[in-house]
Structure 1
Amino acid sequence: MTFSNRRRQLLRAGAAGMAGLSLPLAFEGRVFAAQAGVLSVAIPSNPQTLDPINQPNHDVMAINQLIFENLVGIDARGQRVPQLARAWTISPDKLTYTFDLQRGVNFQNGQPFTSADVKYSFDYVLNPANKAFRRPFWTVIDSVSTPDANTAVIRLKRPYRPLLDYMSKYMGIFPVGSREQHPADYFKQTPIGVGTGPAIFVQSKANDFVELKRNPAYWGKGEPHWDKVVFRIIPEESSRLASLMSDQTQIISAPPAQTFAQIRTSAGLAGDSRPSPTSPLMMCLNHRKAPFDDPAFRRAVSLVLDRGKICRDLCYGAVKASSMPFAPESQWYDASSAGSLAFNLEQARAALKSSKYASGASFDLLYVQPAYLIDTSSTALFIQAQLASLGVRVNLRPLDFGQMISQVLVGNHAAALTGFIAPPEPTYLLNALFRPTESLWKASGYESAELLKLIDDSYRVDDPAALKPILAKLQQVLARDCPAVWIGALEVQNLWRSNVKDFQVNTGFSLKLDNVYLAKA
């Protein structure tokens, strides 16, 4: 089947899905209707865990960020804001962070929140025996001390600029002793009473829903504005959209990109998008497997991709074309490095000819289906067709998100087409993928002392003017070695019912729901 014929089939299937949008949507034999005070939200992915220190899924972070809180938060626009710390100071040598904690905060079990809980939480994550998935983010911490109940001091081994940014997503504060008091799966499956957030866990059913209720004693006065929030697990794009159109859900993540512009203006609905300039759509390449052990072959793959066509015609503007890990509009983007990997069929053929796979190669390309963040099925087909023009065979292997991420995390893949979500910090994904001690390194197997030194150099500076030239040098290394193939920067898109008020699209993709309310009819 040709790419163009297959794409027409996909588009016809999408149109067929749109045709049934007026029908009620059933979940395992039940039909959920809108209820007063109940906010219903549709996400694509089934939670593997609700524990923030082990959470790999940004859709599900919307759930655990309502249960758990952190010292520092990130607002919808990517700016740092106070959370459990009402203020903080950083020492001149950038090694000591002193946090002035909020007063009058209790955990959902009634236990008062103090600096002892901060120390306990970080000490737990840092203990290798606890095998926290997010532990690598925090190994830079040398010690956590508690001068008094309202002050926590974190001392670092070396400067680490993104410390505060990572707190917002990859950490949670929980009560002293709580990990020992509860069974091993408690935080994963039923984290009742162990957070300070605006929502309390009620119940869940795999592949169906997660239900939370309003925390009546929440320290953030006046929030939340709903009595209950129910997360519906709806993997299919068309089904999520159908649930919104029929008012069985009020907010959906990852709407179909091809219909987003049209649907957002429909009566009774609203929608918006926001750039996530450090969150790329990319091909993650395993350097320990042929043919990606050859940098010339990796360069050929990058040069043969017409990113403009992919982003315009297949992603419908939900991705901004870029051959670097930053959007072209980002302050960190290096146009010269990006230009050296721009679509050029002649240069792609020359790069392939200079590789050890000049006579051709084949590899499996994993991609997520049903869609995660954005539907990549058409993009995978287009990549297959473009590489076929070089004599390279691509075998497409669709997997659901859980299956794919489990393969990628252990390096059991040659290439994977996926979106990666990053906080508004330029080195998060590069460090995670390309540093051997990090959680995603097996996904690439790439080693470069030069790149790691540049990342470490970037940690020592806060001033954008000083950071930019470091990141430019870093992108020059990426352009030379081609450790991954970047396609573009993702745009966050959401749709919601018009009676949903104060909802803001979050540049970090996870839905921010604490201050949302439903207007009365």
Structure 2
Amino acid sequence: MRTLLALSLAVLVLVAGCSRGKYSSNLKHPDHVLVYPMPNNPTKLDPATVEDGDTLEVLTQVFEGLVEYNEQNELVGNLAESWDVSDDGLTYTFHLKKGVKFHSGREMTAEDVKFSWDRAATPSILSPTAEGYMADIVGFDECWHGQAQGLSGVKVVDPYTIQVQIKEPKAYWPMYLQYACYFVVDKDVVGMEPIESAERMVGTGPFTVKEVRADQQVVLERFNDYHKGAPKLERIIRLIVQDPNTRRSLYENGEVDWVQLERQDKQYVDQHPEFKNQLHIIDRPAIWYLGFSVKMLEPFKDARVRKAFAMAIDKDRIINEGFDGINQRADGIIPPGIPGHDPNFKGIPYDPAQAKRLLAEAGYPDPSKFPTVPLYYRADRADPRIVAQHVQQDLQKNLGINVELRPMEWKALLDKRNKGELEFFHLRWHADYLDPQNFLSFMLHTNARENTLGYSNPEFDRLCDMADRMPLSRNEERFKLYREAERIAVVEDAIWIPIYFQRDLELLRPEVTGIRRSLMGPLPHTQTDVVRSK
């Protein structure tokens, strides 16, 4: 799963007005108002076009899908109360919850669901995710290429029933529906243009959008007619704060309630005992990796070069020196917690001597003849910078290869990645749903929308295709196929170099209660509350 951000003057004044170095339960914000920072402006305001985790966390407070993950990591109904599947696995019938209201006050019906899905699949919306998540629906190709209006495989049966036909059985397909491109929007307000203003962000979620002010803040307000009952919070304020040290300082000085730390901040917390009981370490279904484009740089077409890079990078040094041992070393692609994760997976070992031999075999016995390699990464986060610097050092020391660091603003980096214009890069993939298919077929199959690398291996594709078509009742067989595909991608082809599985460090004030989580991350703040006046 994926700033131009200048720190707002308001936040600078806020920090300047606070004493430093000591936590205080600051009462500048009233009860029932949750304040926490985000590291960048929302990249998009439209659920059909969003693709990064920071923005998704905002939009999931505003928009909803037919299904969702609960705190037990089970896929359950949300806007749909239930669904049925035909015996052949090709037709899904969803029974919608009655009485669900949009923020506009109008009741949601099956017509809104169809409109929202048709809209996401329409070329003019420019969704970067619809092709990956909606292509299994009958009629998607015609709609996506402008040859039809709407998805022929999605039919409104009655105001509270919608039926979907998919092209071939894929038992994990309902998991797609909790992704943002399937979120339901108010057709009467949103229309067929991309959402670019707060006024058109009208969904069914627990909060409405009060304000989106670039480089300053996003403000959400309680939706009293929410179909699961009004949230306890009256307001959520997300401050746009690019600098991680400033985010931490805001927490230290009592100005925000919750903050995500960079991994290297653990030493800081250890030195400040007043924060000890407020620190939470949370496993996420996410992998940070190095990726190669076989289209952009000629040497990367040779798997021996990619393997040499993998053998020359000391992951343990990165994790221990860069992140105080917090993150878990990744040898494979599938993270812990995802069904099918293999804790005994054997990846490519750290072996600088063998790396040099492979590079010479590939035609580069003299590393000075190897072109300078650009390494792209996200500029607004310290963690990617730390990895990039270590990789630069290792490749220079162990292979004599020059790496040029190219930090980029987050939205620009995403755009460049989607166009397949990154020769060598460090990015994260966070699960969009809890299945190994999301990390293998979805990312690296020859025909996958997310595969912008030019990578293609017929055996990898064959294994994934077989696993993708199996029912969940045959998961052990599915997982065996996915694990073999994972081995091909990592060990034989080295198209990704897994670095670490993500663990988040968070500081959370004791005044904040009711935060719900699944493995995917925080769930919408329907039960969250903040009471500072006790």
TM range (shorter): 0.7 to 0.9
Per the alignment, residue 324 of structure 2 pairs with: 316
After superposition, the CA RMSD in angstroms is: 2.7
Equivalent residue, structure 2, for 1:167: 177
Whole-Å Cα distance in 2 between the matches of residues 281 and 408 of structure 1? Answer: 15
Mapped pair 1:364 → 2:377: no
Other-structure match for 2:119: 124
Q: How many residues end up aligned between the 2 structures?
A: 489
Q: 1:140 maps to which residue? A: 136
Residues 364 and 160 of structure 1: is their aligned pair in 2 closer, same or farther, counting only changes over 3 Å?
same
In 1, distance between residues paired with 2:97 and 2:439?
Answer: 31
Q: Is the 8 A contact 1:61 1:169 kept in 2?
A: no
| Contact 1:264/1:272, CA 8 A, preserved across alignment | no
Deviations 1:399-432 (A, max 9, x none): 2322322222212221111222123221224344
Q: Residue 402 of structure 2 is aligned with which of 390, 393, 397?
A: 393
1:34–1:419 CA distance, 2 compared to 1 (3 A): same
Partner residue in 2 for 1:209 = 217
CA distance in 2, matches of 1:421, 1:129: 27
Amino acid of the residue matched to residue 401 of structure 1?
W
Show the counterpart of 1:149.
Answer: 159
Q: 2:50 & 2:522 partners in 1: Cα distance? A: 12
Alpha-carbon deviations, 1:225-246, whole Å to 9, x = none?
1111111111111111111122
How far did 1:76 drift?
A: 4.8
Which amino acid is 2:483 matched to? A
Candidates 69, 78, 96, aligned match of 1:74 = 69
**Kept after mapping to 1: 8 A contact 2:79/2:97:** yes
Residue 38 (structure 1) aligned to one of 33, 41, 50: 33
Alignment of 1:282-293 (within 5 A): 282-290=289-297, 291-293=299-301
Structure 1 residues 236 and 78: alpha-carbon distance in aligned structure 2, compared to 1, 3 A threshold: farther
TM-aligned CA deviation for residue 369 of structure 1 = 2.1
Quick check: 1:53–1:134 contact (8 Å CA) kept in 2? yes
Are 1:380 and 2:388 an aligned pair? yes
1:466 aligns with 2:477: yes
Could you tell me which residue of structure 2 aligns to residue 446 of structure 1?
455
Equivalent position of 1:8 in the other structure: none
Paired position in structure 2 for 1:402 = 411
Pair 1:111–1:460, CA change in 2 (3 A): same
Contact 2:36 2:256 in 1 (8 A): yes
Check conservation: 2:49, 2:125, Cα contact below 8 A: no
Matched residue SS, 2:318? helix
Residue aligning to 2:499: 487
Q: Per the alignment, do residues 167 and 473 of structure 1 end up closer, same or farther by CA in structure 2, a change over 3 Å counting?
A: same
**For the Cα contact (< 8 Å) 1:209–1:233, is it kept in 2?**
yes
1:4 corresponding residue in structure 2:
none
Q: Distance in 1 between matches of 2:516 and 2:327?
A: 19
1:248 and 1:95 mapped to 2: Cα distance? Answer: 52
Q: Is the 8 A contact 1:54 1:134 kept in 2?
A: yes
CA contact (8 A) 2:332 2:347 kept: no
Question: 3-state DSSP class of the match of 1:420?
Answer: strand
The superposition leaves residues 463-496 of structure 1 with CA deviations (integer Å, 9 ceiling, x where unpaired) of 3312211112211221211111111211233221
Cα separation, 2, equivalents of 1:256 and 1:77: 26
Compute the displacement of 1:164 (Å): 2.4
Q: TM-score, normalised by structure 1?
A: 0.87
**8 Å contact 2:513–2:530 — kept in the other structure?**
yes
Whether the 8 Å contact between 1:365 and 1:416 is mirrored in structure 2 is: yes
Which moved further from structure 2: 353-362 or 464-473?
Answer: 353-362
**TM-score, normalised by the number of residues in structure 2:** 0.85
How far apart in 2 are the matches of 1:422 and 1:407? Answer: 21
For 1:235-314, list aligned pairs within 5 A: 235-259=242-266, 262=270, 266-267=274-275, 270-277=278-285, 279-290=286-297, 291-314=299-322
Structure 1 residues 301-310 or 247-256, which shifts more? 247-256
Gaps of 5+ in 2: 1-14, 139-152
CA displacement at 1:504 relative to structure 2: 3.9
CA contact (8 A) 2:263 2:504 kept: no
Instruction: Check conservation: 2:207, 2:222, Cα contact below 8 A.
Output: yes
Partner of 1:108: 103
Identical amino acids, percent of aligned pairs: 21
- Aligned counterparts of 2:346 and 2:216: Cα–Cα separation in 1: 45
Rounded Cα–Cα distance in structure 2 between residues aligned with 1:433 and 1:94: 24
Instruction: Give the 3 Å change call, closer, same or farther, for CA 95–266 of structure 1 in structure 2.
Output: farther
The answer for the alignment partner of 2:488 in structure 1 is 477
Gaps in structure 1 of 5+ consecutive residues? 1-17, 26-30
What is the aligned partner in structure 1 of residue 50 from structure 2? 55
Q: Deviation per CA, 1:308-348, whole angstroms, max 9, x where unpaired?
A: 22223312344211121123675523467x42412122322
Matches within 5 A, 1:179-218: 179-180=190-191, 184-185=193-194, 187-192=195-200, 194-218=202-226
Counterpart Cα distance in 2 of 1:238 and 1:49: 25
